[in-house]
Amino acid sequence: MNKENLVGILLELSSTAGVSGDEAAAVKAARSQFSLYTDEVKLDRFGNLIAMKKGEAPPSEKLTLALIAHIDEIGLMVTKIEPGGFLRFTSLGGIDARALPGQAVVVHGKKTVEGVVGATAPHLLSPRDRAKTVPFEKLFIDTGYDDQTLNNYVRVGDTISFIQKPLLLETGKRITGKALDNRAGVAALIFCAAELTGLRHQADLCFIASLQEEVGLRGAITAAYGLKPDLAVAVDVTHGDIPGVDEKKAFKLGDGPALGMGPNFHPPLSLAMQQTAKEYNLPFQVEPIPAHSGTDAWAFQVSREGIPTALLSIPLRYMHTTVELLDIDDLISGGRLLARLAARMNKSYLGELRGC
C-alpha cells in the first residue's frame, strides 16, 4: 500500500459517521479494507470488528497477537425536541462545549437530518455573558424543521455526528478532519495488515476495530475476554505539539509514533517495540504515562488472567474537535513498526519477553 492509498482510506474513514454506540457505517467502511488483507472478517457479540490473519506456526507453537484500535468517535445524542423544532442534546464521549457553536451536524433519525449547533448571537448577549463560553445546556440544534415535522423524523436517543469534510493540506502529508481520533489508528492497522501480505509471520494476528471506547473502553472489555490473545498492542492517538502546550506533554508531528511506557504496559513488550523500530530505522518517540492511559490498553491489560499489552499512539493536534490534524508519515511508520513486530513474534520470542 502506498501513501496515496493510505490517505484515501483515512479520508474515507474520517468522513464516515460512527459515534459511540452507532458505529455501523464506519465498521462497514473498515471491514471492506480489512477483508482485502486478512483471512476472515467477522463481528463479535458486542459488534467489534475482528479481522483474523493466520500465522504459519504449527499447532503446538500457536500464539495470538491482538492489534486493537477503536473505531468510534465522539458525538451527541438527542435528549429533547422542543417547541419550534430546536433539539437539545447530550454528549457521547468527551465533548468540548467551547467547540460546538457553529458546527454543522447530522442527526441519524428515521431519516438523516442536517442541522447546525446554534447559540445566542453576540449582539444579544450582555458584555459579561459575551466573554463566557456558552454552557452545554444552553446549546441547541436547528434543523430548519418545526417540531411537528421533526417529530416524524427524529426521536429522543437518536445519535448526532459532526459534518466535516476532511482535507489533505497542501504539504501533501498532513490531514485535518473529524474522527481522526481514532480512525487514524484504524487506518494504521489496515496499513499494517497490507504490509504483512509481503511478510511471513508465525503468530495468528487479530486486528480489532473496537466500539464504544470513548464512553469507557466498553468494546475492548468484551473483545479482550472473547479473543484471549497472548499479547496485545493498542493503537490510538496522543497530543501533538502546538504553541502554548508544554513540549513534555506533546509529541512532534512527523517524528514517528509515540510508544507508551508506564504501569499500563508490559515493559519487555514495550521495549521490544522500541528495539524493533531501531532495527528497521523507523522513527519513534517515547511517551511516559504514569497511570490510566485512557486507551483500550487499559482494558486489555487486566482481562482474564492479564494480557501483556503495549500502546502505540499517533501524534494528533486539536483532539476532540472537528479539525484534528496529523501527519500521514506517522501512520506509515507506525503501521510498518506493528508489521515488523508481528512478523518477529513467535512462541520463543514471547517466552523471552515474559522472562521464562
Applying CB under 8 A, the residues found at the interface with another protein are 20-24, 27, 43-47, 77-81, 88, 90, 92, 137, 155-157, 212, 215, 218, 221-222, 225-226
Nearer to another protein, 13 or 282 (CB): 13
Nearer to another protein, 278 or 304 (CB): 304
Nearer to another protein, 90 or 197 (CB): 90
CB-CB contact of 48 with 334 (8 Å): no
Per-residue exposure over 315-333, b if at least 16 CB sit within 10 Å of its own CB, e if not = bbbbbbbbebbbbbbbbbb
Give SS3 for 25.
helix
CB-CB contact of 81 with 154 (8 Å): yes
Nearest-approach distance from CB 222 to another protein, in angstroms = 4
Nearest-approach distance from CB 15 to another protein, in angstroms = 20
Query: What span, in angstroms and rounded, lies between the C-alpha atoms of 288 and 246?
Result: 14
Q: Which of 270, 259, 200 is nearest to 231 (CA)?
A: 270
Q: Which of 310, 302, 42, 21 is nearest to 160 (CA)?
A: 21
Nearer to another protein, 46 or 153 (CB): 46
Q: Give me Rg for the CA atoms of the chain.
A: 21
Give SS3 for 288.
strand
What is the grid cell recorded at 4? 496515496
Nearest-approach distance from CB 329 to another protein, in angstroms = 34
Which of these is catalytic: 195, 213, 214, 287?
A: 213
Torsion on CA atoms 242, 248, 254, 256, rounded to nearest 10: -150
324 in active site: no
Nearest-approach distance from CB 206 to another protein, in angstroms = 14
Nearer to another protein, 212 or 276 (CB): 212
Nearest-approach distance from CB 86 to another protein, in angstroms = 11
Tell the residue number behind the cell numbers 444552553, with chain if given. Answer: 138
Residues designated as active site: 213
